[in-house]
Amino acid sequence: MDDRALSKNAANYVSLTPLSFLKRAAAILPDRVAVVHGGTRRSWAETYARCRRLASALQRLGVGRGDTVALLGANSPETFEAHFGVPMAGAVLTSINTRLDASTIATILAHAEATVLLVDREFSRTVARALPLLARRPQVIDIDDVAFGGGELLGTMDYEALLATGDPELAWTGPADEWQAIALNYTSGTTASPKGVVYHHRGAYLNAMSNAVWCEMGQNPVFLWTLPMFHCNGWCFTWSMAAVAGTNVCLRAVRAEPIMSLIDAEQVTHLCGAPVVLATICAAAEQSGWRPPRRVTVVTGGASPPASLLERMDAIGFDVLHGYGLTESYGPAAVGIRDAGQAALGVRERARLKARQGVICPATEDLVVADPATLAPVPRDGKTLGEVLLRGNTIMKGYFKNAAATEECFRDGWFHTADLAVCHPDGWIEIKDRSKDMIVSGGEKISSVEVESVLARHPAVLEVAVVARPDPKWGESPCAFITLKPDTALGEREVIAFCRQHLAHYKVPRSVVYGPLPKTAIGKIQKNVLRERAKALSLLI
């Protein structure tokens, strides 16, 4: 059949964009609560009007297609609104990790070419130190959140005043091309210099829908924002929540008390967070005897949760889905799935299986664990280590103004994650290490995760990280950084003796350092910092 005569037209083709979800939410459930923040409750109709005001006001400030609007925001209505209002103005949202230092923030603002900066008063002190470092300062708008008492205002206008200048009925249009950028998210933490990851409207739309499917969000979800919205745009759940017209419950700080009381008061159905968030909830629930009024779906990722934590969460009343993803994959790329076979297992065995990272998400086209040299998939034996390679519409456009890094990560038609994993017989992947976290000692590869998991089992160890330390004889040797539990003692010799019982000789750490571990904004241990310390240690000797 030759149907070339049937071409795209205004009725049968629209660029994919998550902005459509907001329009729909306001049309179908105008009165449903979209955002809860302290005593503030706003409907989808109100939220849509505020987002249109924001877009219109930004346009009146001169923001146009392809301009960057930066944001240092808490998990507040304003941050949620920026995910729609900024792209509705044709602009690109750069939502910056609020725990970064002034110098890094300045670097990002300059690199992103931000013309407008929205700042929550909680972060104004840091921003005030960042701005003088910039050659061209963006126009600063304050988010004056009444829920936060501290901080200072440093902008030319506050957010509400800005909205007042905008048109709540702005006749916005979506992107002419769905490949147009919607967000620019900077990687941070474990890698050396932040890279600007560019998301497009198409990918944001698709990952938002994909989340709604695998996370079983249903028609009436109530989502508690324990995950920072600045992290991959809240793993794209900002946009998912508009797709399902659910209720966003904002939370400025992850503390157990408000989490428990909001789960009760708002009948929360879903929340996300790093394992540390789960641990916080778990400890408080176990201590107080509190239980959620109905089972809550929790998505965790960013670090591997111990199986015992998953087991405890299950017992308290949380269904944990454990996933895997990167900034470059719009957040979630793989996730655990419920399986009839698993349901028949005991809680402990199920938790052990769930501690693995799962299977590919619906919108992620391809995921393989492969030999990075030959690209041949590793056998599904749960043993052979390979690199996780990804492909699909929910992979970034590339790194902004960084052709070398873009080319490097996209070689051979795959996105190279630099994460090392095995593939189990059931198809689930299990992340074993970052490529760069492998320690190569005397030609032998040592997985830092393996050494860490042995040490984590010692009753005196609270937290542990193992990195490579330059070694004149072996090239590298494992160096363990350990935080001990209060009122415990564990000497270097004991650490080494303990490891020898459970590890091959060459894998045993040759040096042990005690103290708190440096962490990123999302609670990831900063191995790059530890590597620097280990290096310095070698230089000292």
Residues that bind a copy of itself (CB under 8 A): 1-3, 5-14, 16, 20-21, 24, 27-30, 32, 66-68, 92, 112-113, 179, 181, 184, 198, 209-210, 212-214, 216-220, 243-244, 337-340, 359-360, 362, 365, 390-393, 395-398, 400, 403, 406, 410, 413-415, 427
**Contact 53/159 with Cβ under 8 angstroms?**
no
Strands 511-514 and 475-484: parallel
Q: Are 50 and 42 in contact (CB under 8 A)?
A: yes
Closest distance of CB 104 from a copy of itself, Å: 19
Give 240-298 as a DSSP string: HHHHTT-EEE--SS--HHHHHHHHHHHT--EEEE-HHHHHHHHHHHHHH----SS-EEE
CB of 405 to a copy of itself, least distance (A): 11
What is d(CA 122, CA 152) in angstroms, rounded to the nearest whole number? 8
- What are the distances in angstroms from CA 311 to CA 256, 277, 278, 315, 346? 19, 15, 11, 6, 10
Q: Residue 337 corresponds to which tokens in the numbers above?
A: 């799935």
In whole angstroms, how far apart are CA 258 and each of 147, 253, 261?
13, 9, 5
Q: How far is the CB of 82 from a copy of itself (least distance, A)?
A: 16
Q: Cβ contacts of residue 509 below 8 Å, gap of 6+?
A: 451, 466, 477, 478, 479, 480, 495, 496, 499
- Rank residues 212 and 449 by Cβ distance to a copy of itself and give the closer one: 212
Nearest CB to a copy of itself, comparing residues 213 and 536: 213
**81 within 8 A of 141, measured Cβ to Cβ:** no
φ/ψ of 354, rounded to 5, equals: -70, -20
- Identify which of residues 364 and 441 has a Cβ nearer to a copy of itself in the complex: 364
391 vs 417: CA distance, rounded Å: 11
CB nearer to a copy of itself: give 93 or 513: 93
Going by DSSP bridges, is the β-strand pair 114-120/157-158 parallel, antiparallel, or unpaired?
unpaired
Between residues 212 and 313, which has the closer beta carbon with respect to a copy of itself?
212
CB of 360 to a copy of itself, least distance (A): 6
Cα 147 off chain centre by: 24
We find the least distance from the C-beta atom of residue 67 to a copy of itself, in angstroms, to be 7
Query: In what helix (H) or strand (E) does residue 433 lie, and over which residues does it extend?
Result: strand 429-434
Nearer to a copy of itself, 76 or 210 (CB): 210
The β-bridge partners of 386 are 421
Which CB sits closer to a copy of itself, 92 or 529? 92
Give the burial class of 293: count Cβ atoms within 10 A of its Cβ; 0-12 exposed, 13-18 middle, 19 or more buried: exposed
Name the token pair of 349. 């065995």
Nearest distance in Å: CB 364, a copy of itself: 8
Which of residues 74 and 242 has its CB atom nearest to a copy of itself in the complex?
Answer: 242
Whole-number Å distance between alpha carbons of 391 and 369: 12
For a copy of itself, give the closer residue by CB, 19 or 449: 19
What is the spatial distance between Cα 325 and Cα 394, in angstroms, rounded to a whole number?
11
Taking the least distance from each CB to a copy of itself, the nearer of 6 and 171 is 6
The single residue listed with the structure tokens 């490097």 is: 408
**Measured from the CB atom, is 371 or 463 closer to a copy of itself?**
371
Which strands sit side by side in the sheet containing 40-43, from one edge to the other? Answer: 40-43, 33-37, 247-249, 222-224, 270-273, 296-300, 318-326, 331-335, 359-360
Shortest distance in whole angstroms from residue 446 CB to a copy of itself: 30
Q: Closest distance between a copy of itself and the C-beta of residue 271, in Å? A: 18
367 or 530: whose CB is closer to a copy of itself? 367
Cα–Cα nearest to 35, from 234, 298, 303: 234
Task: Tell me the chain's radius of gyration from C-alpha atoms.
Answer: 24
Minimum separation from the CB atom of position 341 to a copy of itself (A)? 8
Q: Which is nearer to a copy of itself, 30 or 372 (CB)?
A: 30
Buried b (16+ CB within 10 A) or exposed e, 45-76: bbbbbbbbbbbbbbbebebeeebbbbbbbbbb
